[in-house]
Amino acid sequence: MEAFLQPEEHAAIPIQSGFTLIELAIVLFVVALLLGGMLLPLAGQQDIRNFGDTQKILAESRDALLGFAMAHDRLPCPAVAPNGVESPLGGGACTNPHNGFLPAATLGLSPVDAQGYRLDGWGGETINRIRYAVTTANTNAFTTQNGMKTTGMTALLPDLQVCNTGTGMVNAGSPATATCAANAAVATDAVAVIYSVGKNAGTGGTGADENHNPNPQSTIAADRAFVNAQQATTFDDQLLWLSKSALFNRMVAAGRLP
């Protein structure tokens, strides 16, 4: 008798299983770590880019001031609200010589915001407008038409100061007599100062150094002394200044002085 043929055994069907909640949590945690590691460098790169853009804008602004001086025999006054035009129009005794803004509309700079102000590299807020101060020395000779030529190069004594620290500043808040501490002066005869209040514009400015540069948070009245300290978490202002020698050199070369 023939043996009964045994039916083929059914192949085992594999059972698919999903991730457990613990495994999913681990995967999400690892992904979060990876994304965090990528975002931090990107944020740092953006900060570096904004810093560099601001330095470029400040340099362009300084060149524009020199060009204006050669064309008009004077420096422009700082702008004040509500627009980016110098105040007063035509120069003379400036409305806000130490705590105004760069008059980008008067200088013909671009791009500008809706009110004609030049912004730094950090954003499109009004607090990111480039700021500008100009000397009032020699009875506003530097901002008065032909004032420099009338006064004479040897008699012109611009008095804006740039310090490497605000600590120990003498007469801080006094427009005419604020002075850097001993051995802290970077410049004592600057004609103009152009600066940005940096990334922390909306919340910073009250530190020992930033407080001396007019900004929305400053508690010290504007004066002729500005601080250009080392970049740190408590100081991120960016400054450039126009020296007396640089201004005179350009104006002599253009035949505007002596």
Coil/strand/helix, residue 42: helix
171: left (phi over 0), alpha (psi -120 to 50) or beta: left
Which of 5-19, 42-56, 215-229 comes out lowest in average pLDDT?
5-19
**pLDDT tens digits, one per residue of 107-147:** 999 999 999 999 999 988 899 999 999 999 999 999 999 99
**pLDDT tens digits, one per residue of 204-219:** 999 999 999 999 999 9
CB burial class (10 A; 0-12, 13-18, 19+) of residue 76? buried
> What percent of the chain is predicted at pLDDT more than 70?
89
Which of 55-64, 87-96, 199-208 comes out lowest in average pLDDT?
199-208
Coil/strand/helix, residue 133: strand
The answer to whether residue 61 scores a pLDDT higher than 70 is yes
| Count of C-beta atoms within a 10 Å radius of residue 19 | 10
Residues 107, 108, 110: CA angle, nearest 5 degrees: 120
The pLDDT of residue 30: 74
DSSP of 201-239: TTT---STTGGGS--TT--S---SEEE----BTTB--EE
Coil/strand/helix, residue 100: strand
CA distance 20 to 175: 70
| Single-letter amino acid code for the residue at 61 | S
CA distance 78 to 133: 6
Cα–Cα distances (Å) from 70 to 119, 141, 142, 254, in that order, read: 24, 15, 12, 7
The answer to whether residue 178 scores a pLDDT higher than 80 is yes
DSSP of 182-198: TT-EEEEEEEEEEEE--
Gyration radius from the chain CA atoms: 30
Average pLDDT, the chain: 90
Is the CB of residue 68 less than 8 Å from the CB of residue 76? yes
Better-scored residue on pLDDT, 45 or 208: 208
Q: What is the mean pLDDT of residues 188-216?
A: 95
Angle between helices 244-253 and 21-72 (to 10 degrees): 50
**pTM of this prediction?**
0.83
Confidence class for position 1, pLDDT limits 50, 70, 90: very low
The pLDDT of residue 41: 72
Is the CB of residue 242 less than 8 Å from the CB of residue 65? yes
